[in-house]
């Protein structure tokens, strides 16, 4: 994850745009512009002006959505055998992931899931969704939902 202690992630991204323009890095430029557009949309949707700076939590939320869109596109393109379309998406995803915190592994999720299962007294698969939700809330975005689901399902 990139880290500039004196700047918000939004300000850091704006600096990255300038660097990408100077370097003529088309992929980085395209990716940064799409994130900045999504941030502007988020600011306007929450009643702020496009010139405002979004806080780091809002920034991470936007970037996570953008990364999820790229992952879904990659999966669809690869399923259709269109690597010509999935490769640019993969390049953009790599840039987006530099702004996201590292996600927990399934091994790191397991003890938290086991503790939450015991705490809630879940004994059968009928409460699987409730347990997944509780674990996700506990982890607050530090783990991928798919990984949490796999770990929770393996507890039964």
CA–CA gap between residue 20 and residue 5 (Å, rounded): 21
Domain count, the chain: 2
**Per-residue model confidence as pLDDT tens for the chain (156 residues):** 444 456 788 999 999 999 999 999 999 999 999 999 999 999 999 999 989 999 888 898 899 999 999 999 999 999 999 999 999 999 999 999 888 888 888 899 999 999 988 888 888 888 888 888 888 888 877 888 888 889 988 888
Question: What pLDDT is attached to residue 100?
Answer: 86
Asked whether residue 2 is domain-assigned, the answer is no
Question: What pLDDT is attached to residue 138?
Answer: 86
Asked whether residue 3 is domain-assigned, the answer is no
**For residue 38, what is the domain's CATH number?**
1.10.1510.10
124 and 47 assigned to the same domain: no
Asked whether residue 91 is domain-assigned, the answer is yes
**For residue 128, what is the domain's CATH number?**
1.10.10
- Domain span at residue 57? 9-97
Give the domain-ending residue among 69, 97, 125. 97
Question: What pLDDT is attached to residue 6?
Answer: 63
Using alpha carbons, select from 74, 65, 5 the residue that is nearest to residue 41.
65
């Amino acid at each position: 994850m990139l880290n500039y202690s004196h700047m918000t992630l939004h300000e850091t991204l704006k600096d990255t745009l300038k660097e990408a323009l100077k370097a003529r890095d088309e992929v980085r430029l395209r990716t940064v512009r799409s994130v900045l557009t999504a941030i502007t949309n988020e600011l306007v949707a929450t009643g702020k002006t496009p010139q405002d700076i979004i806080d780091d939590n809002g920034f991470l939320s936007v970037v996570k959505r953008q990364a999820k869109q790229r992952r879904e596109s990659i999966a669809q393109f690869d399923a259709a055998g269109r690597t010509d379309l999935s490769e640019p998406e993969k390049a953009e995803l790599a840039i987006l992931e530099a702004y996201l915190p590292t996600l927990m592994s399934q091994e790191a999720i397991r003890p938290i899931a086991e503790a939450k299962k015991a705490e809630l007294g879940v004994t059968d698969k009928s409460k699987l969704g409730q347990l997944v939700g509780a674990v996700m809330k506990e982890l607050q975005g530090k783990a991928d939902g798919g990984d949490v689901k796999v770990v929770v399902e393996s507890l039964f």
